[in-house]
Amino acid sequence: MANKLIELNKQYNFDVTVNPATTYAGEQALPYVTAAVKSNDTVAKGYVRTMDGLTSKAVISSINTTDPIVGASCSFSDAGTTTLGERVLTVTDLKVNREVCRKTLFPTWVGKNMTQNGDLPNSFSDFLLEVVAGQAAAQIENGIWVGDTSGHFGAGFVSNDGVFDQSGLNASATADFTQVTMNSGAATTNANIDDALASVYASVTGSHPGLEYKEGFGFYMNNKMFSFYSQFLAGTASGQGINMLGLTLNPEGLSYLGHPIYRCPGMPDDCIVATYKDNLVFGTNLGTDLTEAQIIPTYQYDGSDNVRVVMNFGIGVQSGIGTDGVVGCIF
């Protein structure tokens, strides 16, 4: 097998070397770092509002005016109240440090490029960055929702320390959302997922009139919860498959009482968030000179067959209007 790969390398002129100065910064780093930062499901599918070009912090402003109309007269009559709200999104600086063996990745790279119907193969350097960016994206998907135990990510949407519990939620970006205990604290199953959604929806209609009519409103949950809901719908006596509309062929189209369900793999179990897309904000420093992607060919210096990949970027999350949402939990 090894000899065959060498022959392929010679025949197709595959270059598996890495130039010593393979460094991308600022705009040049954008394609590589964007793949790491924005290819996670929550962001890539547009389930949150994205703000780029942030260097440290951003102020998210909101204006709420009530009852401004008065009877007509010749004088100016100030009426109603105007409330200004400000929430701060803080960008946390993060980095990727990965060391990979060229020998390990080379067969995968050859196989990938040999299936592209005659397209020219990507450079080995680009392939390395793609592999590492994909690994980073999966970690970021989790981090933007629950943070992590080491505190690298800062506060996520529903926790700040990698654990979805009361203390984590209280320190999260949705700490001011109305909190609802689903199913009296019992773990969610395919038998009670409808009751869980019903309790969250009841809080939406009871405590937040008009929230469900805002553009992009929906229910956020992870893959496991989404699967429970799919199973529940498929098993209902009056149903004709998922959603009673034949959506077994398109499970991404699930909804609850006409509102879409957004499937976000990074969310924790036993958690449902009800709000609208623009109210969950994801900030990055993409487009600034603070982003960087670099490949360091350590094999040229230490006798190994290793290459190091370095990425530098910053991300953060916040809710736009802190009270415009509901979080369902079991605590």
What is the per-residue pLDDT across 100-159, written as a single tens digit (0 to 9) for each? 888 887 777 765 664 444 343 457 778 788 888 988 999 999 999 999 998 889 999 999
CA–CA dist 188, 182 (Å, integer): 8
Q: Are 142 and 131 spatial neighbours (Cβ–Cβ below 8 Å)?
A: no
Give the full edge-to-edge strand order of the sheet including 326-329.
178-181, 326-329, 272-276, 217-221, 259-263, 255-256
Residue 21 lies in a domain: no
Residue 146 lies in a domain: no
Residue 5 lies in a domain: no
Q: Model-level pTM? A: 0.84
Q: Are 129 and 32 spatial neighbours (Cβ–Cβ below 8 Å)?
A: yes
Residue 47 lies in a domain: no
Read off φ and ψ for residue 151, nearest 5 degrees: 80, 10
What's the number of domains the chain is made of?
1
DSSP H or E segment with residue 292: strand 292-296
Residues (pLDDT < 50) of the chain are 1-18, 20-21, 114-121, 238, 240, 246, 249
Q: What CATH number did the domain enclosing 193 receive? A: 3.30.2320
Residue 238 lies in a domain: yes
Provide the pLDDT for residue 9: 38
Read off φ and ψ for residue 221, nearest 5 degrees: -155, 165
Q: How far is CA 290 from CA 40, 50, 144, 311, in A?
A: 21, 18, 20, 10
Residue 233 lies in a domain: yes
Q: Which domain holds residue 187?
A: 176-281+320-329
Q: How far is CA 262 from the centre of its chain?
A: 11
Residue 270 lies in a domain: yes
Residue 86 lies in a domain: no
